[in-house]
Amino acid sequence: MSLMKIVRAPFLAACIALLGAVAITPVDALAQEAASAPAAAAPTDVTAPAPGGVATPEMKKETIDNPYGLEALWTQGDFVARGTLIIMIIMSMGSWYIIFTKLWEQSKLMKSAKAAAETFWTAGSVKKGAETLEESSAFRYIAEQGLKAADHHEGSLVEQIDRHTWIGMSVQRSVDNINSRLQDGLAFLATVGSTSPFVGLFGTVWGIYHALTQIGISGQASIDKVAGPVGEALIMTAFGLAVAVPAVMGYNWLIRRNKGAMERVRAFSGDLHNVLLAGKR
């Protein structure tokens, strides 16, 4: 029995030592991993912090060229696509030129109407009143035409026509000339507004045709084969709408302004007609 006790004592001591080693080893390993983790996770691409600031990582932006933009439309398009684009650009430039020109003419006519209301009717005669207006004024043109008709009525071929009718015809003719001048260019705006969407649609159809042609040639409907022509088609549609909308809106706006301007012109011509019939030249 004493021999078994002697053998068991070293065996129990060895088992206790082994269990202690197993329990302590994972704790030491976790401590070592926690100590080495910050060094491994430290960022390598960090800029030096500014004085009093915080370090920020350096970000690199990658630029990618767009192969399906306006430049590609012009360089890769054929003569039909380029011709369609040029036609729409000419339409747009013409529309904006007419819009700004007509706005300037209408503003000038409104200014002349205001000047005529302030200076013409306070003059002693029609001739003196016409001299107070600008030479390029539409109201001076009407007054001069009325004076000319009144002066050349007697002793001429139109003497058989009564004075009232002759002066009225001359004044009305000058008013119609002014109205015709105000209407110049509006037909172009109406044409652009009604035809430019169809011109853009033609470019769209041509782009779709190119897309189908490339699909048939390549034998596969991959996105790189159809992205260019389809993008060209959509750009043509957008151009057609961008040209049509300002032309239509400008046409309607100018028509409404012309109506207001011509109301003042007709009112002036009617008063002038009555004054000339009264003999106050």
pLDDT per residue as tens, the chain (281 positions):
444 444 445 544 544 554 454 444 444 444 444 444 444 444 444 455 545 555 555 555 555 555 555 665 666 667 777 888 889 999 999 999 999 999 999 999 999 888 888 888 887 788 888 888 888 888 889 888 888 887 765 655 556 677 778 888 888 999 999 999 999 999 999 999 999 999 988 888 887 887 777 777 767 666 766 666 677 778 888 889 999 999 999 999 999 999 999 999 999 888 888 888 876 66
Q: Contact, 166 vs 149, CB < 8 A? A: yes
What are the extents of the domains in the chain?
78-277
Q: What is the pLDDT of residue 92?
A: 94
Instruction: Give the side-chain half-sphere CA count within 13 A for 175.
Output: 21
Rounded to 5 degrees, φ, ψ at 57 are -70, 145
- What whole-number distance in Å separates Cα of residue 219 and Cα of residue 69? 25
**Separation between Cα atoms, residue 265 and residue 177, nearest integer Å:** 11
For residue 226, the model assigns a pLDDT of 67
Amino acid 213: pLDDT: 78
pTM: 0.67
Q: Quick one: pLDDT at residue 96?
A: 95
**Those residues with Cβ within 8 angstroms of residue 46's Cβ, 6 or more apart along the chain or in another chain:** 55, 56, 57, 58
Which pLDDT score is estimated for 39? Answer: 43
The total of other beta-carbon atoms located within 10 Å of residue 136's CB is: 9
**Quick count: other Cβ atoms within 10 Å of Cβ 120?**
23
